[in-house]
Structure 1
Amino acid sequence: MKYLHIILLSLLAVHASAAQATEIAFSDAWQQLLKVSDKLQASAQEVNRAQAEKDAGDDLNLPSLSINGSYTRLEKPIELDLRDLNPLANLDPAALPPALGGALASIPGSLFVTPFTEQDIFRSSLQAMWPIYTGGRITAAQGIHAAQVAEKEQQHQLSTRDLFLQLVERYYAVSVSHSLANTKQQLVEALTEHADHAIKLERQGQIAKVERLNAQVALENAKVDYASARRQLEMTQIALSRMLHQQAVDTASPLFIVASSPSLPQLSQLTLSHHPALKLLEAKERQAQGLIDVEKGSYHPTVFLYGNYTLYEDDSLFSKVEPDWMVGVGVKIPLLSRDGRSGKVEAAKSALLQARYTKAQTQQDLSLLLEQSYRQLQQAEEEVDSLRLSLTLAQENKRLRDLAFSQGLSTSIEKVDAELKLSAVQTQQLAARYRYVLAYAKLMAISGQLDEFVGRARSAQER
């Protein structure tokens, strides 16, 4: 009876822990994870950043407008002395008539000086520049930004699929741990009853001491396994709870087997036409092609409109002569450059080829991964089907051993062996069903059918 008392206390502890946990369906767990996942939030911000950079690149088509101001101090003001100009510069006052020479000599020298600027110059103006032809570089740069947005979006999709598989693994690990703990619990209960019975039979002299010890040893081992199963259940629940950012959660959706296996050709078609990894590499190709166009555009001239409007200037003669505004058309033609344009074009071409080769390799890898996952699904399904017959055999064997032992026609060792075989088959079946769900989830994630898996999980819960 003391063994039964210990088991009851353990069961009460497990039930108390389970009562505090909130059951959640897989579909609800997935929606919760989409809301609280820090990984997805970080990935979404990558998309937002790329979109903002793309929006900034759209402004390359617009003109630039700026207000410029300056203060300049000259060594001395700019002045013009008329006596430095012909014919006064070559005029000899001694050669002139005395009256005329005297008249010129009496004129102050300051009257011959014309100031053009002050020594301190203040200026401000409104300047505009609008490129109207850049050899396709602006269009190429905008295309690169658009491709970068597509790349980040596909990376976000990949992160979503990876997180989905992680949720499937943790969610159904809780379900498996529950079933495993129940299996170990049933084994402990059966062996407890058998150990008590064996003690009574030994006292009555119907069985040997070794058979009673065998029953008790088997019970102790079963209790250790049951305690381990309960700890495993607690760890899986903690992992799921932390993933969903909740205190304590439990699963409500059971393991399931799909009635009809998915079509491998259809899965392959969906994968090779819509997988985010391939779309990401296509975006890489567009970026590399845009980089080629940018570098090639540096060989073309740049044509631009420009204008200037003076907002403030001093009252010097030079300011009065200078016009208040001006507009024009400019062109810049590159002849020689030391920025290595040809090398950059070749580097961009290499990047394009790299993206294409990587895409081809990724297609092969995805096809192989799809084939392997499909074979794993089939193998797990075959194991589940095979273990159904094994489970029936183990149950029947246990029933016969129980009956034979109660009639003294079977030993305690044979009865314990029957209990252990039944528990082992049940454990194997749980593992096979878990591997099936993981393989099915991987197939759905690779082919982009996450909603299909969620629907299957919901249907399994409703049955």
Structure 2
Amino acid sequence: MGHLLSIGAAGVSLCIAVPAVAQDAAPVAMSFEAASQALGKGSRALSAADHEVRAAQATADALKALRRPVVSASASFVEYQKTLAIDLSGTKNNLTGATSDFLAGLPGQFPPGFQEIVTQVTQRVGAALPGLLSAIPDTLRFQTRDSAFRPTVTAALPLYTGGAIPAIQRGAQAGVAIAEATQAQGRDLSQLNLVRTYFGQQVAEQLAASTRATRDGFDRHLSDARKLEQQGVLSHARVLEIQVARDASDRAYLRADLEATTARDTLARLLDAEGGVQPTTALFVNAQPLPPKAEFLAATDHPQARGADAARAVAAAGVDLARSRFRPQAFAFGEYNLNRNDALPTEPDWIAGVAVRMTLLSNVDRRRTLDAAHERERAAADSAAEIRKTIATQTVRAYDLTETARRTFLSLDSSVAAAEENLRVQALSFREGEATSAAVIDAQAAIATVRTQRIAAAYEYDLALAGLLVASHQLDSFGGYLARADHRLGPVTP
């Protein structure tokens, strides 16, 4: 959890967000560029985003082969029993009739001398025939029990899916784009948080130094007042008035010092620096105005916009997938038995063919499913348009904040000089008895306020500039602005 900063008319206020950690090791001196590199290497959030991108890409790669055949091998061991029953009664009757007819006509086929002999033979055969056929059952029943080992290779190849395969592949590629956009956005936001925390520590330390200088000034003013009281020049009531102001400045310093400690802890936790970080890159302001606002608004490669476009592509793929359910599907298939000798009687050695399937009636309303997909596509389009509008609004607001902070900072240069001179004159006049203690107190408060406002303006410029570059996806140019800066408020050694 980081510290919170609010900038207002009265200056800067740092709110305590986390307790300070023990600083056993010495602080590490680190420039902003080095801090940025350390954050990129040690951030778990950025590492998680990298893993998400790789996972999405692996998923898309896995779906590239959907048009290839699916070949599988299987093996099974089965035990079976088969029973066959054949009705022979009709066959027996037909055989009896045919045999009787044959025997009756057989004597006429021999010469007259042999006909009597043949007739006797046929009569005996005809008499014995019913007994011979009675041995054959009316029903023949056959039963066998066996086991079989069935190794097979099966292949299936999609020929036409109604557009389902291209839709799935486009959706997977859009998923990669979403993950990459999320990754880029996460990097921008982490860098923006680094700007807030890195320079925020300096703000807290400089405010602590400013309040300490104010308290020390009141200490000197109180010492002078006590000397004047001893000389009878100043009343005790005036001395007490200065004492109250001095104590108030001391409480302000203690509060600012605690907030500086919290700010140091926040940056140390962000960069995993056990002993803390001592920034070496100062708060900065560029005196030159920013480039025209149109240059920042013209940027179109914002991660949020890319993510919205990818989400729209996913929704469009969903429409195509829903539409494919109305269309037929065709595929080729084949199977080969690797153990023909042990195959069942009804199993072929191999089989190949082409099949077409079309759903005529589904238990899911396909029309409603397609309508839902169209609505998701429209919603994604509206979201993309709204995100671009929001990005433009944020860009304009950040641009205006940056320019306002720049102008405010430059205008405070003369104010600081005037406040310092006013305090010097009022303190000298008070020691000579020509000015009141209230005038010195007011001069001390004025210089404290203008110093605070100057620090706040510099910090607001840096933070607003980073926000502007994030909104226009140009954060890589932040280092260029830093290098060209012509006003710097050097880091304070705690």
TM bin, normalised by shorter chain, reads: 0.7 to 0.9
Secondary structure, in 3 states, of the residue corresponding to 2:88?
A: helix
Equivalent position of 1:223 in the other structure: 250
| Structure 2 gaps, min length 5 | 1-21, 101-125, 489-494
After TM superposition, give the deviation of residue 92 of structure 1 in Å.
5.7
Amino acid across the alignment from 2:316: Q
Secondary structure, in 3 states, of the residue corresponding to 1:118?
A: strand
Residue 342 of structure 1, aligned match among 357, 362, 367: 367
After TM superposition, give the deviation of residue 255 of structure 1 in Å.
1.1
Amino acid across the alignment from 1:62: R
Residue 441 of structure 1, aligned match among 466, 477, 482: 466
Give distance in 2, aligned partners of 1:80 and 1:177: 100
Give distance in 1, aligned partners of 2:157 and 2:376: 32
Secondary structure, in 3 states, of the residue corresponding to 2:294?
A: helix
Number of residue pairs aligned between Structure 1 and Structure 2:
440
Equivalent position of 1:160 in the other structure: 187
Equivalent position of 1:254 in the other structure: 282
- Given that 1:27 and 1:457 are in contact with CA atoms closer than 8 Å, whether structure 2 keeps it comes out as no
Secondary structure, in 3 states, of the residue corresponding to 2:351?
A: strand
Q: Does 1:352 align with 2:377?
A: yes
- Given that 1:183 and 1:426 are in contact with CA atoms closer than 8 Å, whether structure 2 keeps it comes out as yes
After TM superposition, give the deviation of residue 101 of structure 1 in Å.
4.0
Q: Does 1:243 align with 2:278?
A: no
After TM superposition, give the deviation of residue 351 of structure 1 in Å.
0.8
Residue 65 of structure 2, aligned match among 59, 79, 98: 59
Give distance in 2, aligned partners of 1:365 and 1:353: 18
**Structure 1 residues 19 and 396: alpha-carbon distance in aligned structure 2, compared to 1, 3 A threshold:** farther
After TM superposition, give the deviation of residue 394 of structure 1 in Å.
0.7
Secondary structure, in 3 states, of the residue corresponding to 1:307?
A: strand
Q: Does 1:431 align with 2:456?
A: yes
After TM superposition, give the deviation of residue 454 of structure 1 in Å.
2.6
| Structure 1 gaps, min length 5 | 1-15
Amino acid across the alignment from 2:176: V
Equivalent position of 2:91 in the other structure: 87
Matches within 5 A, 1:15-414: 20-74=26-80, 76-79=81-84, 81=86, 83=88, 87-88=91-92, 97-106=126-135, 118=145, 120-247=147-274, 248-258=276-286, 259-270=288-299, 273-312=300-339, 315=342, 318-319=344-345, 322-414=347-439
Higher helix residue share: 1
Secondary structure, in 3 states, of the residue corresponding to 2:323?
A: helix
**Structure 1 residues 104 and 18: alpha-carbon distance in aligned structure 2, compared to 1, 3 A threshold:** closer
Secondary structure, in 3 states, of the residue corresponding to 2:47?
A: helix
**Structure 1 residues 370 and 355: alpha-carbon distance in aligned structure 2, compared to 1, 3 A threshold:** same
- Given that 2:340 and 2:349 are in contact with CA atoms closer than 8 Å, whether structure 1 keeps it comes out as no
Secondary structure, in 3 states, of the residue corresponding to 2:283?
A: coil
Equivalent position of 2:480 in the other structure: 455
Q: Could you say what the CA RMSD is over the residues aligned between the two structures, in angstroms?
A: 2.8
Q: Deviations over 1:17-66 (max 9, x none)?
A: 79921121111111111111121222222222222221222231221122
After TM superposition, give the deviation of residue 125 of structure 1 in Å.
1.4
Give distance in 2, aligned partners of 1:279 and 1:194: 61
After TM superposition, give the deviation of residue 108 of structure 1 in Å.
8.6
- Given that 2:328 and 2:356 are in contact with CA atoms closer than 8 Å, whether structure 1 keeps it comes out as yes
After TM superposition, give the deviation of residue 412 of structure 1 in Å.
2.3
Give distance in 1, aligned partners of 2:32 and 2:94: 105
Identical columns (%): 30
Amino acid across the alignment from 1:52: A
Q: Deviations over 1:154-212 (max 9, x none)?
A: 11122222222211111111011121111112112222122222222211212111222
After TM superposition, give the deviation of residue 90 of structure 1 in Å.
5.7
- Given that 1:121 and 1:314 are in contact with CA atoms closer than 8 Å, whether structure 2 keeps it comes out as no
Secondary structure, in 3 states, of the residue corresponding to 1:77?
A: strand
